[in-house]
Amino acid sequence: MAKELYFIKTNPVIAKINLYNKLCREENNVLSFLNDDKKTSLEIIKNKVKDSVEELSPEELLQIFNWFKNEYRLDKEEMKTQLFINGIDLFYEIPSEAHVNNFQKILSDYEKHSQSRLNFISDCENFNHFLIYGIFYTQMIKKENEDILPHFLKSDYKKLYILAENQFNLNGVDKVDSDNLYNYFIDLYDFTKHYKGSIIKLYAQ
């Protein structure tokens, strides 16, 4: 199971220039993070980045991510800065394996009952619908009604509220860390509510 979950926004125009040039300049460094047939893999990655970084597969993006993670292993904030400079905005992460598993369970339930699938890369509107569902659902687990945001959202997203309520009634009170999960959904919603691009979910071991 994944130990960490990263949420990423991309800037394909910047990646096409900065990331592509970095891959070309530092070929020997990045090769050690690629799988078998490393030279071919690198050429495939470079061609995809030159077209659009969003064409990278989860495995390819994770290999690039691990390269940056190793290069800036002593300074995580610098790693995030360098990723951003190269067109990859790591804007949020869930760093706990238990929390990632619980987040994934909520996502799986949502996909099953909403008949909507959030793939490795999703448009922000669909992603935000899931986040709103998650806010409703985790607030029900918390059994608290003090926060204003869920009440505000409920009037505009009644179907998502009903979906979350039905799932809550089906599951009962899950033995999950509801406070942290609720905060994850609130934070992610705040980071993406005005964003119009794509969102990438990247699972890491």
Q: What is the chain's mean pLDDT, rounded?
A: 92
pLDDT at residue number 49 = 98
Proportion of the chain above pLDDT 90, given as a percent? 80
What is the band of 176 on the pLDDT scale with cuts at 50, 70, 90?
low
Instruction: Summarize pLDDT for 44-77 with one digit per residue, the tens.
Output: 999 999 999 999 999 999 999 999 999 999 999 9
180: tokens are 């942290």
In angstroms, the CA 83 to CA 68 distance is 7
- The rounded percent of the chain whose pLDDT value lies above 70 is 95
The answer to whether 116 touches 163, Cβ cutoff 8 Å, is no
pLDDT digits (tens, 9 = 90+) for 112-154: 999 889 999 999 999 999 999 999 999 888 776 667 888 889 9
- Residue ranges in 17-147 assigned as alpha helix (H): 20-25, 27-31, 38-51, 58-71, 76-85, 97-114, 124-142
- What's the pLDDT score for residue 101? 92
Q: Phi and psi dihedrals of 9, rounded to 5?
A: -105, 150
